[in-house]
Chain A
Amino acid sequence: EDKVVQSPLSLVVHEGDTVTLNCSYEVTNFRSLLWYKQEKKAPTFLFMLTSSGIEKKSGRLSSILDKKELSSILNITATQTGDSAIYLCAGRSNDYKLSFGAGTTVTVRA
Chain B
Amino acid sequence: AQSVTQPDIHITVSEGASLELRCNYSYGATPYLFWYVQSPGQGLQLLLKYFSGDTLVQGIKGFEAEFKRSQSSFNLRKPSVHWSDAAEYFCAVGSSASKIIFGSGTRLSIRP
Question: Are A and B genuine complex partners?
Answer: no
Query: Which chain A residues have a beta carbon within 8 Å of chain B's beta carbons?
Result: none
Query: Which chain B residues have a beta carbon within 8 Å of chain A's beta carbons?
Result: none
